[in-house]
Amino acid sequence: MSKVKRKWDLLPEGRRRACAEEIITFFEKERDEEIGVIAAEEILDFFLQNVGNHIYNKGIEDSRGTFNKKFIDAEIDLDLLIKK
């Protein structure tokens, strides 16, 4: 049976399993609760769906700022090369 890929789930299968295991471990250690794989995957899906886009967009904004700074630096370097 093929697994349905949801638009918010950009994690590779191995990373998804590792995240679910981390969620299970968190609940055991921090909350003294036992949850199963299905519950952990539902929690992961909830966060990917509700927070994933915001985190992704923040990464894009940070990249844009870095790119703009590098572009300005390159413009300054090119201006310094102009023979007067």
> What's the pLDDT score for residue 15?
95
Domain count, the chain: 1
| pLDDT of the residue at 3 | 65
Q: Could you tell me if residue 5 is inside a domain?
A: no
Q: Does 62 map to a domain?
A: yes
Q: Is residue 55 part of a domain?
A: yes
Predicted confidence band of residue 40 (pLDDT cuts 50, 70, 90)? very high
Q: How far apart are CA 13 and CA 15, in angstroms?
A: 6
Q: Which domain holds residue 64?
A: 13-81
For 7-16, 31-40, 61-70, which range has the lowest pLDDT when averaged over its residues?
Answer: 7-16
pLDDT value at residue 34: 97
DSSP annotation string for 64-84: HHHHHHHHHHHHHHHHHH---
Predicted structure pTM score:
0.68
Rounded Cα distance, 43 and 27, in Å:
11
